[in-house]
Amino acid sequence: MKIEFLGTGGAMSIPRPLCNCIVCKEAREKGVPYSRTGPSLFIHGPNVLIDTPEDIYYQINRSTIKNINAVFYSHWHPDHVMGRRVLESLNADWVGNPPKPSQTDVYLPEQVGKDFENRLGSGEHLQFFEEQGFIKLHQLSDGDSIVLNDTTISPFRLAENYVYAFLFETSNKFILIAPDELNNWEPSKQMKGVDLAILPMGICDFHPLTGEQQIDVLHPVLNAEATFSDTIDIIKKLQAKRTILTHIEEVDGLGYEELEKLKVKLKLEGIQIEFAYDTLIVDI
């Protein structure tokens, strides 16, 4: 199984439009791995796409993806869903008469399906695609799993119960993918020692290299978002064989080279992590 990181940015991708900070200017000049598009990844083997940010057309076109068996949505937030029209572009038949569109299976975990009914028009949009024959919608109940190409995929709620993470299990590999929102989450014993954990980095309220405070302690974002320190605590509890962090926000002010320095710093402290970048492919 291979994991392809299509986009490793967060709600604010890098470079941020019209921003002239050092990180954004460097990203414009150098591109990948300094630039980061919206959060999405692809799991080769079961051939599963997780989330469709605004950048998904571009991400798929530059990827090594040959076929998409299924799309899973982790939650309703716009940075994870607003590129959903790619489902039409992948499948519509504008030449044949009568048209014979292809079809992609789309899986909505229980709360995601409910939220799509009243958030951002996602539910209505996907229902239209199903009527046109572009997709087949599957509503999952909590506790449901599906099997694709000998891989069992199990969505489960995090502590913020509108958002889901996913367990991918084969005969000899166990992979945890949490696209976003680790706030207040405690990993279960079942997840301890997974072969790979893919987690969001978390907000850097303090600069992880200099210690400088970057976000006021009373800022409301800290009530809703896990911090980088929170993520480190989760990593220690998980004890995964390999941990890769993604969903890296522009507002953290960390460029690619600073993240590499942070990787070295944490290794000296006994914490083994990697920072994903757009187009990264890892073989598990």
Domain ranges of the chain: 2-91+101-283
Per-residue pLDDT, 190: 86
Per-residue pLDDT, 188: 92
Confidence of residue 40 (pLDDT cuts 50, 70, 90): very high
Per-residue pLDDT, 131: 97
Give tens-digit pLDDT for 158-213.
999 999 999 999 999 999 999 999 999 999 988 999 999 999 999 999 999 999 99
Neighbouring-strand partners of residue 151: 148
pLDDT > 70 in the chain, percent: 100
Residue 244 above 90 pLDDT? yes
What whole-number distance in Å separates Cα of residue 114 and Cα of residue 93? 30
Give tens-digit pLDDT for 87-133.
999 999 999 999 999 999 999 999 999 999 999 999 999 999 999 99
Q: How many residues are recorded in the chain?
A: 284
Confidence of residue 224 (pLDDT cuts 50, 70, 90): confident
Tokens of 42: 């692809």
Catalogue the long-range contacts made by 188-196 (C-beta closer than 8 Å, 24 or more residues apart): 191/167, 191/238, 192/237, 192/238, 192/239, 193/238, 193/239, 193/240, 193/241, 194/238, 194/240, 194/241, 195/240, 195/241, 195/242, 195/284, 196/3, 196/240, 196/241, 196/242, 196/243, 196/244, 196/282, 196/284
Per-residue pLDDT, 159: 96
Question: Class of the 2-91+101-283 domain?
Answer: alpha beta
Mean pLDDT along residues 49-77: 98
Does residue 215 contact residue 205 with C-beta atoms inside 8 Å?
Answer: yes
Average pLDDT over the chain reads 96
Per-residue pLDDT, 42: 98
